[in-house]
């Protein structure tokens, strides 16, 4: 699925820059939305087997690693969109680089978490690290949902200021991260309620 995701990533960034250059809000929203849909399709493909059959805890790190990589990809997309839109389209907003850098940092942190999950460790350490990861995921879900609620409730989506393009990125990326977080928490709960599968 990674090639399709990377293609959607690149195309959405290209369309986003072209749309922003022309001040076209709808094409930017569509480009961002199509990327998010591709990510959510991959998320469904990764996690759907967990609901069809009980594979036990042995395979838990597989879906957790994949979901974390998807989150990293969304953060990386947000950072790339910020840097390209506000560097190439002529749109000026003084906070773009701060949010872009923050998203890039979150992407790196998510990749580090995914790399940690792939290390060969004993079952106890693996379970402990996954529990910590799910705690961070729960906090992330709460923070993102609160941020989205503020963004919508404050009326910032109707702004005519130069942050209108950033708002599209925040909404699309935020929804994608929230869904990934919730699905991960449900998958973790599913795995822990499933009986152990012996090798």
On whether residue 72 sits in a domain, the answer given is yes
On whether residue 153 sits in a domain, the answer given is yes
On whether residue 176 sits in a domain, the answer given is yes
Using CB atoms within 10 Å of the CB of residue 54, give its burial: 0 to 12 exposed, 13 to 18 middle, 19+ buried. middle
Question: Which residues constitute the domain of residue 164?
Answer: 2-193
On whether residue 199 sits in a domain, the answer given is no
On whether residue 140 sits in a domain, the answer given is yes
On whether residue 69 sits in a domain, the answer given is yes
pTM over 0.95: no
What is the count of structural domains for the chain?
A: 1
CA distances from 90 to 20, 81, 87, 93 (A): 8, 14, 7, 10
On whether residue 119 sits in a domain, the answer given is yes
118-172: pLDDT as tens digits: 665 555 566 777 888 888 999 999 999 999 999 888 877 776 677 889 999 999 9
CB 103 within 8 A of CB 144: no
Mean pLDDT (whole number) for 17-25: 92
77-133: pLDDT as tens digits: 999 999 999 999 888 888 899 999 999 999 999 988 878 776 655 555 667 778 888
């Amino acid at each position: 699925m990674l090639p399709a995701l990377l293609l959607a990533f690149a195309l959405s960034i290209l369309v986003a820059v072209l749309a922003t250059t022309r001040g076209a809000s709808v094409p930017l929203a569509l480009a961002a939305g199509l990327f998010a849909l591709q990510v959510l399709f991959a998320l469904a493909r990764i996690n759907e087997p967990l609901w069809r059959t009980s594979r036990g805890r042995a395979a838990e790190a597989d879906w957790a690693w994949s979901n974390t990589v998807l989150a990293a990809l969304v953060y990386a997309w947000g950072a790339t969109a910020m840097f390209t839109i506000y560097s190439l389209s002529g749109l000026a907003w003084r906070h773009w680089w701060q949010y872009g850098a923050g998203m890039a940092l979150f992407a790196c942190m998510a990749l580090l978490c995914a790399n940690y999950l792939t290390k060969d460790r004993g079952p106890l350490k693996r379970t402990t690290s996954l529990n910590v990861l799910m705690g961070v995921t729960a906090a992330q879900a709460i923070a993102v949902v609160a941020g989205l609620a503020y963004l919508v409730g404050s009326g910032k989506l109707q702004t005519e200021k130069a942050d209108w393009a950033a708002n599209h990125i925040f909404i699309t990326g935020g929804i994608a991260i929230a869904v990934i977080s919730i699905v991960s928490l449900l998958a973790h709960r599913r795995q822990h309620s499933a009986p152990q599968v012996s090798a």
